[in-house]
Structure 1
Amino acid sequence: MTVGVILFIGILNSFGSKTSGVIQTVSTICKLIPLVLLILFGCINGYLLTGPRITYTLGTQGHVPKFVGKLNKHDVPANATLIMASLSALYALSGQFNLLSDLSMFAIWSFYVLTFIGVIKLRKSHPNIHRPYKVPMYPFIPMIAILSGLFVVINQLFFAGINSTIMSLGGIIVTLIGLPVYNYYENKNKSKNIEIDKKIVA
């Protein structure tokens, strides 16, 4: 890739000053590539650490197959990580990265809003539960987060154009595909989940 960029700049340079602006643009892009890669790997690292642990927690609570909630000898959720890595690889094979990001963003922001609502709900329904971390300036911070998240969700669903609306609906459909699996294991492990809820409250 680097050799190709150098040859491209050399060809442009042979055409004289008319292409000086293009050369400068290409040079600037080349300088930004390391920064973009650094940001990209930082995001991947963050999702690699947090994403599988959500799936792992679902496994330990009986919402998905039990093997997903098992740790390896290094106390790492290897099964959950392998599942997420496999799904990510399958999605990547499509080559439609813009499509994938558009499909996921609506669902991600929807769950952000539900998480912020959950903070307020748990404060009311379980006021005495042990909380290692408490949201500062409650309830103002959660309310600002909910309103901001709703703005993104509603804007993407109704006001950002027909393509955005279609992508949002696609994100909803992809999310709902997992609902039957969740409900099946929820009903199958209903007694276990009740015991977990009791331990959390205690």
Structure 2
Amino acid sequence: MKSEPTEFKPSLRLIDATMLVAGSMIGSGIFIVSADITSYVGSAGWLIMVWLITGFMTLTAALSYGELSSMFPKAGGQYVYLKEAYNPLVSFLYGWSFFTVIQTATIAAVGVAFAKFTAYLIPQFSEDLVAIDLGFFKISPAQLLAILVIVLLTYINSRGVKSGKAIQTVFTLAKLLSLFGLIVFGLIYLDKDIWNSNWTNAWDLKPITGPSGSDSFHYTFIAALGAIAAAMVGSIFSSDSWHNVTFVAGEIKNPKRNVGLSLALGTIIVTILYILTNIMYTSVLSLQDIAHAEKQRVAVTASHVIFGPSGTIVIALMIMVSTFGCNNGLIMAGARVYYSMARDGLFFSKVSTLNKHAVPGFGLWIQCIFASLWCLSGKYGDLLDMISFVVVMFYILTIAGIFILRKSRPDVDRPYKAFGYPVLPILYIIMGLAFCILLIIYKPKFTWPGLLITLAGIPVYYLITKTKKKEDLTNNRST
């Protein structure tokens, strides 16, 4: 009888790792969230600035993570870094938040977005329809489709990393080419009147609160900072998940080199594409059209202007490809964190084993169930707010961990050191803290729940460790 593998197989090349970074980042956000951002900032200059700030923060964090990935090239990524820099409680709170909110809710949000664009082509999948009516609870066809996609991708990834890798590379290349094509054709068909209108008074920061924009007003200084932070929720969500490649470090060839390099390459490619995409939006759509795009589908509105009705269908298909590929990367990487937690005795023990295809199959299916439950919660924007706050909070802690490890473990081999240290990591920490504080003040409805879910992990941690100690004591006595 053939025994099941106990170690991951290094089978991902640099190109595969880079495609995982880029593919996990580019999902649905870039095609949707510019509507929300524009409604907050009300100007072309600040629309681009929000993406520039987010891109700077993302690239700074990715370059900082390069040092950590070269020190600890293990499955689990950020969970491992936090454990090494702090203690098991901090890393558990990350893993707990990752499972309950960060990864599973992101998978759900991208799944719901896939369904939104499918509904553009097949109206029967609309989120406005009711597929199942339980009286107190209604389920739409969009929610069911999102769950179906998550189940399908989970099954594919449970069959081994080779299948997931092939999907990731093909779908990421397709989305990069389609996004690049949209940018090129959009700039070719630039409307000078729209461009001049958008870029006149480009730094006039004000909200767009009505379809006509007539009821717009100017912010006070403090309110302006809050508006920028609120606007960044969408751009941060759209730029997130770049660190998923660190979770599969145990399956990457030459991880000490390739993890950090893939982080840099992937985030640079995506940041440039995001900024160019938004410049393209301002070349073909008025700010009012961007802010009030139907169901926030800015890319579909722009492609309709550029290509006409037939082009819109093609772009909708490309966006479906994008979200499908994005969810593949998220699902592939996520289960590796639960695997590392289980190996530490902080998650279901069965998750610490690999199936016959050398992947954590049980962890994949638990993730699938929880993400499916999130799909039933429904609202894309609500998930954005909750996820962005918790994600940045743990990024700050992880990057601060670089300073801690430089002092506590100076002798550990560091094939790569954080670019711009200590200036850039400090700058990220300051910007991240400002973002989190402003978000708590100006968008508390969905930031506090995310924080409370994270803190709820504290009693869970002590309950698990107490139970584990009792089991260890009982086992020692029996032997």
Q: Same fold (TM over 0.5)?
A: yes
Q: How does 1:155-194 map to 2 (within 5 A)?
A: 155-158=438-441, 161=442, 164-189=443-468
Q: Does residue 144 in structure 1 map to residue 427 in structure 2?
A: yes
Which residue number in structure 2 is paired with residue 7 of structure 1? none
| Separation (CA, whole Å) in 2 of partners of 1:144 and 1:3 | 46
Which residue number in structure 2 is paired with residue 61 of structure 1? 344
The structure showing larger relative contact order (alpha-carbon pairs under 8 Å, at least 6 residues apart) is 2
Q: Does residue 110 in structure 1 map to residue 401 in structure 2?
A: no
- Structure showing greater radius of gyration is 1
| Separation (CA, whole Å) in 2 of partners of 1:75 and 1:44 | 20
**1:108-167 deviation per Cα after TM superposition (whole angstroms, max 9, x unaligned):** 111111111112212211112244543223223322322232232122112xx3xx1121
| Separation (CA, whole Å) in 1 of partners of 2:325 and 2:439 | 26
Which residue number in structure 1 is paired with residue 410 of structure 2? 127
One-letter identity of the residue aligned with 1:96? K
**1:12-36 deviation per Cα after TM superposition (whole angstroms, max 9, x unaligned):** xxxxxxxxx9xx5583643431332
Q: Does residue 71 in structure 1 map to residue 390 in structure 2?
A: no
The match for 1:32 among 315, 325, 332 is 315
Which residue number in structure 1 is paired with residue 374 of structure 2? 91
| Separation (CA, whole Å) in 1 of partners of 2:326 and 2:433 | 24
Question: What is the CA distance between 1:61 and its match in structure 2?
Answer: 1.2
Which residue number in structure 2 is paired with residue 154 of structure 1? 437
Retained in 2: the 8 A contact 1:56–1:80?
yes
Greater helix percent: which structure? 1
Question: What is the CA distance between 1:91 and its match in structure 2?
Answer: 0.7
Secondary structure of the corresponding residue to residue 420 of structure 2: coil
| Separation (CA, whole Å) in 2 of partners of 1:156 and 1:35 | 32
Which residue number in structure 1 is paired with residue 89 of structure 2? none
One-letter identity of the residue aligned with 1:140? V
Which residue number in structure 1 is paired with residue 296 of structure 2? none
Question: What is the CA distance between 1:93 and its match in structure 2?
Answer: 1.4
| Separation (CA, whole Å) in 2 of partners of 1:65 and 1:139 | 38
| Separation (CA, whole Å) in 2 of partners of 1:186 and 1:131 | 32
Secondary structure of the corresponding residue to residue 464 of structure 2: helix
**TM-aligned CA distance change 1:30 to 1:77, over 3 Å:** same
- After alignment, is 103-112 or 61-70 more displaced? 61-70
One-letter identity of the residue aligned with 1:100? L
Question: What is the CA distance between 1:59 and its match in structure 2?
Answer: 0.8
Sequence identity (%): 32
| Separation (CA, whole Å) in 2 of partners of 1:127 and 1:114 | 19
Q: Does residue 82 in structure 1 map to residue 365 in structure 2?
A: yes
Retained in 2: the 8 A contact 1:65–1:185?
no
| Separation (CA, whole Å) in 2 of partners of 1:119 and 1:57 | 20
**TM-aligned CA distance change 1:55 to 1:3, over 3 Å:** closer
Secondary structure of the corresponding residue to residue 62 of structure 1: coil
Retained in 2: the 8 A contact 1:64–1:181?
no
Secondary structure of the corresponding residue to residue 135 of structure 1: coil
Retained in 2: the 8 A contact 1:109–1:153?
yes
Q: Does residue 43 in structure 1 map to residue 326 in structure 2?
A: yes
- After alignment, is 132-141 or 106-115 more displaced? 132-141
One-letter identity of the residue aligned with 2:458? L
Gaps of 5+ in 2: 1-118, 124-300, 470-479
**1:27-56 deviation per Cα after TM superposition (whole angstroms, max 9, x unaligned):** 364343133223322321221122211111
- After alignment, is 30-39 or 116-125 more displaced? 30-39
TM-score of the aligned structures, taking structure 2 as reference length? 0.32
